[in-house]
Amino acid sequence: MSGHLTLKKSNCQNCYKCIRHCPVKSIRFSGNQAHIIDNECILCGQCFVVCPQNAKQITPEAEKVKVMIQSGEPVYVSLAPSFIANYAGVGIESMREALMKLGFADVEETALGATVVKKEYERLIHEEKRDILISSCCHSVNLLIQKRFPLELQYLADVMSPMQVHCRDLKERYPGAHTVFIGPCVAKKDEAEHYAGIVDAVLTFEELSAWLSEEGVTLEVRADRTEESLARLFPTTGGILKTMACDEPGYTYIAVDGIDNCIEMLSDIESGKIHKCFIEMSACNGSCVGGPVREKYAVSRVGDIIAVNNYAGRRDFDVPQPDHLTIHKSFDYIERLSPMPTEAELNSILRRMGKFKPADELNCGTCGYNTCREKAIAIFQGKAEVSMCLPFLKDKAENFSDTIVKNTPNGLIVLNEDLEVQQINDAARRIMNIRAASDVMGDQVIRILDPTPFIKVLNTGREIREEKVYLAEYKRFVEQSIVYDRDYHLLICILRDITDEELEREKKENISRQTVEIADRVVEKQMRIVQDIASLLGETAAETKIALAKLKESISDE
């Protein structure tokens, strides 16, 4: 298998939807990206169908086919009978005309090869008396058995698929021709590559539609039904059986579609519950009309089945039956390389996932695996990561969040848009002397705080940051921040208790004020002393002046 189904890494969004829908869990997650495991993939295409990001892509071959046509050598198309469901009302003649405009030499229906295959199935039952015979038309079913049910390989019909039988016949009739199969199946690309020399390229209906649109070729709606076209029923569930003579005495004929149902049937065969049975197996629900690479978003299963039934005739195509040895096909076991953990290794991984006892194993399937133990095995095999467990991540996030909320020194209060308390932490309860969170949960915030700032934030959408507030009822100073989360419709209030800081600030202010008052009194007293000294000095100077004047007068008199 050469990566016919690949991934656009940039588009993967870790939704795990591809794993949930992958019936064989052949997808590995690493570095938050999905990777398809070629060795385990059966190319059913379900990951391609369900991916919401269109991250899965099928290897295109249109350019390869264009090169073939440009080479000048004739290129013939084997057209899958499900075309009538994909291109409503467009018959084989309209398809032939349109495809020849693209440069193809001619177009025939793969149903011609299907007629040969169904006759060979009848021969194996009637002549070789096979106990159990499983149809081998569906390459995804063949891969499923080759990779996961090797003991059942003996029951897989060793016959070429209708695509191979028809393309082989085309090459015999037109020596030197190239053959291209067009259908709704990605697995056919792998089949063509693995069994080289029969089918030179495979296009999907999506590739063909894009090519027709690019060249401006319009498909004409025109009926051209013929009675000799019974094998056109092949692409519906039970379609092979409808073409066969299901008349072997003591034999049971069963049609099974969908990989899960096929796995269940193969398990029953493995356990020895089934004998004398022909089983028509199809990987897709509804068989080929439910193929993964039809027009991806335009599937009407019931309408498609009706379209196929109405287009099919009631008699076989008139085609010669080749010798059975010329259409023989062998299937080999394809070994998968994934190791299995011991019980001790499995339990160790389960503990890393937070699964310490059976009750912790929720088996919710959100990771894509059916059970926690399957997920643990995938982790051991390098296909999954511990972080893919949603309950584990949820518990981890909640525990981490709770640890922060419980241990932060800041008070936290969460309100809804009706201003009802949704959450309150221990620090907030201490600030407001609330005994237990249950005492206020669900109550209006007015019971514990002034609702005015909350209403303001709710109405304006403008946050309040570190606003200093005195909570008189609690005798507390706080810095209050209020944030409005529009996405979750919540108001978040953060309270930082600054009471001690405020009291210390007031204490310092009081000390400073007292110091200023003392300094003022000292200065005032000093000024009075200076004034007193100045006054005394003034009196003394006056008395001295008078005494000296009198002394001067007395000396003058003498």
The more confident residue out of 269 and 515 is 269
Residue 292 corresponds to which amino acid? P
Residue 256 and residue 216 share a domain: yes
Residue 288 and residue 180 share a domain: yes
Residue 310 located in a structural domain: yes
Q: Which of 101, 312, 102, 92 is nearest to 224 (CA)?
A: 92
Partners of residue 279 on adjacent β-strands: 134, 254
pTM of the predicted protein model: 0.72
CATH of the domain at 355: 1.10.15
* Structure confidence at residue 292 (pLDDT): 86
Q: Find the mean pLDDT for residues 98-111.
A: 97
Share the mean pLDDT of the chain. 89
The more confident residue out of 553 and 40 is 40
Model confidence at 94, pLDDT cuts 50, 70, 90, reads very high
Q: Find the mean pLDDT for residues 290-317.
A: 83
Residue 371 and residue 255 share a domain: no
Q: Find the mean pLDDT for residues 237-254.
A: 96
* Structure confidence at residue 5 (pLDDT): 75
The answer to whether the CB of 36 falls within 8 A of the CB of 6 is yes
Q: Find the mean pLDDT for residues 5-12.
A: 71
Q: Find the mean pLDDT for residues 332-341.
A: 85
- For 460, the domain range is 409-497
Cβ atoms within 10 A of the Cβ of 406, count?
A: 11
pLDDT exceeds cutoff 80 at 558: no
pLDDT exceeds cutoff 60 at 230: yes
How many residues are listed for the chain in this entry?
558
pLDDT exceeds cutoff 70 at 548: no
Residue 152 located in a structural domain: yes
Of 407, 437, 453, the residue that ends a domain is: 407
How does pLDDT run across 112-139, given as a tens digit for each residue?
999 999 999 999 999 999 999 999 999 9
Q: Find the mean pLDDT for residues 11-31.
A: 83
Rounded-to-integer distance, Cα 44 and Cα 5, Å: 10
Give the lowest-confidence range in 22-36, 451-465, 471-485: 22-36
pLDDT exceeds cutoff 60 at 492: yes
Residue 33 located in a structural domain: no
Residue 509 located in a structural domain: no
How does pLDDT run across 172-213, given as a tens digit for each residue?
999 999 999 999 999 999 999 999 999 999 999 999 999 999
Give the lowest-confidence range in 95-109, 249-263, 324-338: 324-338
Residue 262 and residue 139 share a domain: yes
Q: Find the mean pLDDT for residues 227-242.
A: 96
Model confidence at 298, pLDDT cuts 50, 70, 90, reads low
Residue 305 and residue 345 share a domain: no
How does pLDDT run across 397-427, given as a tens digit for each residue?
666 667 778 888 999 999 999 999 999 999 9
Q: Please state, in angstroms and as integers, the Cα–Cα distance from residue 22 to each residue in 50, 380, 480, following that order.
A: 10, 19, 52
- Percent of the chain at pLDDT > 90 equals 62
Q: Find the mean pLDDT for residues 385-389.
A: 77
Q: Find the mean pLDDT for residues 29-33.
A: 75
Residue 523 located in a structural domain: no
Most confident stretch, 18-27, 132-141, 337-346, 498-507: 132-141
Residue 421 and residue 365 share a domain: no
Residue 149 corresponds to which amino acid? F
* Stretch (H or E) spanning 202: strand 201-204
Per DSSP, helices labelled H in 446-498 are 452-460
Rounded-to-integer distance, Cα 118 and Cα 316, Å: 10
Of 298, 327, 356, the residue that ends a domain is: 327
* Structure confidence at residue 15 (pLDDT): 81
* Structure confidence at residue 3 (pLDDT): 66
Residue 445 and residue 382 share a domain: no
Residue 471 located in a structural domain: yes
Residue 417 and residue 403 share a domain: no
pLDDT exceeds cutoff 60 at 354: yes
Residue 345 located in a structural domain: yes
* Structure confidence at residue 296 (pLDDT): 47
* Structure confidence at residue 16 (pLDDT): 83
Model confidence at 388, pLDDT cuts 50, 70, 90, reads confident
pLDDT exceeds cutoff 50 at 297: no
Residue 209 and residue 78 share a domain: yes
Q: Please state, in angstroms and as integers, the Cα–Cα distance from residue 405 to each residue in 101, 110, 421, 549, following that order.
A: 70, 67, 15, 94
Residue 251 and residue 224 share a domain: yes
Rounded-to-integer distance, Cα 419 and Cα 440, Å: 12
Residue 240 and residue 217 share a domain: yes
Q: Find the mean pLDDT for residues 372-378.
A: 88
CATH of the domain at 471: 3.30.450.20
Model confidence at 1, pLDDT cuts 50, 70, 90, reads very low
Domain count along the chain: 3
Q: Which of 88, 101, 64, 79 is nearest to 215 (CA)?
A: 101
Of 441, 465, 497, the residue that ends a domain is: 497
Q: Find the mean pLDDT for residues 463-485.
A: 93
Residue 36 located in a structural domain: no
Model confidence at 362, pLDDT cuts 50, 70, 90, reads confident
Residue 70 and residue 86 share a domain: yes
Q: What does the CA dihedral 475, 478, 483, 489 come to, rounded to 10 degrees?
A: -20
